[in-house]
Amino acid sequence: MSHSEISRHQFPDNFTWGVATSSFQIEGAHDSDGKGPSIWDNFCDIEGKIADSSNGHKACEHYLRWQEDVDLICHLGVNAYRFSISWPRVQPDGQGAWNEAGFAFYDKLINALAERGIALHLTLNHWDLPQALQDHGGWANRDLCGHFTRYATEVARRFGSRLASICTHNEPWVIAILGYEQGIFAPGIQSRSQAFQAVHHLLLSHGMALQAMRGLGLTTPMGIVLNLSPIYPASDDPKDVAKAWLDDGLILRWYMDALFHGTYPQDVTAHLGQDVPVVLPDDLVTIAQHNDFLGVNYYTRNFSSSGNPWDVASTGNQVTDMGWEVYPQGLTELLCRLHADYQPKLLWVTENGAAFKDELVGGVVNDELRLAYIRDHIAATQDAMAQGVPVGAYFAWSLMDNFEWASGYAKRFGLVHVDFDTQKRTLKNSALWYQNFLSEK
C-alpha cells in the first residue's frame, strides 16, 4: 500500500485517535496555587543543562489557557487526549497533604473534555517528580514505591471512573538512564548503579500501583508506556552484532521481560556486574501484573556500534531536527516483535511525532515533513495491524509545541504552532491533515 493512500477506514471504528502532552511541558504556572517544585524546576535552574537556558515557568500557559486548548483538541476531531498530572501540583511534597487547588485544575479539565466526548488517558508520572522526594534520593530510594502508590491511588479514587485509561510511568528508561546514569535530564545524577536501582523501583512501583488502584474496584484500563525501538548493528562485524543485542537488552528486554515474563534478562544482569539492582523476593512477581495495555512511544530506530564509525546520514533517510532518522517501517517491525515475543493484550502507539524547523508565514506553517512523518507512521501502524497485531490507539506527539526538556523550546514537535511570546496557537498543515484524515466520510 502506498502510504499516501492511508485512510481512516482501514482502521476499526472504535480505534482511538489522539494527541498527547505532558504536564511540565505545557502547563507553566510552576508555583501557582500551592504547587511544589518538581525536579525539572530545579534542574532548569542549573546553568548549562537546558540548551536555551529556558524553564517551565510559563511553557504553553496551559494552566491558564486550558479552555482554549480544550477547544483546540476538539477542533482537531480526535476522540482521545493523553495528558499527565503534575504530582507536585497535587501533592507538593510527594507525601502528606494533598493540594486541593491542584486537583481542582485537573477536575475541571477532565470534565470539560469528557463533556465533549473526548476519552481521557491519564499518565501519573511523566517525569516531574516532587523535588522533596528527590531530596530523599528520588527513584533510587525504595520508599518512593510506597509514596507513588499512595499518589496513584488518590488520583484513581478521584478521577478513575472518568478516565479511559491510567498509565503509571512514561518512559522509565528515560527517567532512569538519562536522569540517573547520563545526568543529561533531571535529576542530573551520573551513577549506573543508582540508575538501575531507579529502574527497578519504577517498575516495582508500577506493579504496586496497579494492585492498589485495582483494589479500589476500578475497571479503568491500566498499563505503562515505554520508549522502544528496533536496534540494528551498525555493521556485520560480530562485535557490532553483539553490541546491538546487548543494547536491545538494556533498552527493551530489561523492561519487557520484567513486565511480561517476571524476569530480568540474564545477559544484561551479567553485563551490569556490581551495578545490578537490589531485587527483593517477590519484586518481580509484583512487577509482572497484568497490563490492560502497553503504550509504545516510537520515534526512530537505533543503531549500535562497538566502536566502528556510524553516521545517521548513511541511512539515506530524512533526519528530523532532533537528528533522528525517519524510519516508519521500524514501528511496524517493533509492534510485530512485541506481539510475537510478549503478547501484550493490547498495544497503543502512545507517542509518535517529529521535530522540524517550522516557519510561520502569513498564518500558515507548511510543515510537509511532519505531515508525511505522521501519515507514514499511521500507515506503518496499519501495516502491523494487517499482520495481526492488536493495536488500538495512535496518539500524535504533540498537540502543540512545548518545552522539549534539555532542548528547551527550540525543538518543535507540535501539530499546533505556539508563539511563545504571545501564546498564540496556529494549526500547522500537519494538524489540518490529521483533522481531514479523521473526518473522512
Using CB under 6 A, list all residues that contact ligand IFM: 22, 25, 171, 297, 351, 397, 404, 413
* 376 neighbors 328 (Cβ within 8 angstroms): yes
How far does Cα 171 stand from its chain's mean position?
5
CA atoms within 13 A on the CB side of 394: 28
Q: Is 61 a catalytic residue?
A: no
Q: Which one of the listed residues 27, 61, 181, 351 is annotated catalytic?
A: 351
Q: Which is nearer to ligand IFM, 25 or 91 (CB)?
A: 25
CB of 247 to ligand IFM, least distance (A): 18
Instruction: Give start and end residues of each alpha helix (H) in 387-412.
Output: none
Q: Which is nearer to ligand IFM, 297 or 304 (CB)?
A: 297
Q: Amino acid letter at 114?
A: A
* 23 neighbors 126 (Cβ within 8 angstroms): yes
Q: Which is nearer to ligand IFM, 383 or 404 (CB)?
A: 404
CB of 263 to ligand IFM, least distance (A): 27
CB of 353 to ligand IFM, least distance (A): 7
Q: Which is nearer to ligand IFM, 126 or 201 (CB)?
A: 126
Q: Amino acid letter at 360?
A: L
Q: Is 325 a catalytic residue?
A: no
d(CA 431, CA 396): 10
- Residue 383 grid coordinates: 501495516
Q: Which is nearer to ligand IFM, 171 or 181 (CB)?
A: 171
CB of 46 to ligand IFM, least distance (A): 19
CB of 409 to ligand IFM, least distance (A): 12
d(CA 273, CA 258): 18
* 122 neighbors 165 (Cβ within 8 angstroms): yes
CB of 238 to ligand IFM, least distance (A): 32
* 254 neighbors 265 (Cβ within 8 angstroms): yes
- Residue 412 grid coordinates: 518543535
Q: Which is nearer to ligand IFM, 106 or 298 (CB)?
A: 298
Q: Which one of the listed residues 171, 181, 325, 404 is annotated catalytic?
A: 171
d(CA 164, CA 58): 29
Choose among 222, 226, 184: nearest CA to 349: 226
- Residue 405 grid coordinates: 526538556
**CB contact burial 48-79 (16+ within 10 A = b; e otherwise):** ebbeeebbbebbbbbbebbeebbebbbebebb
Residues marked active site are found at: 171, 351
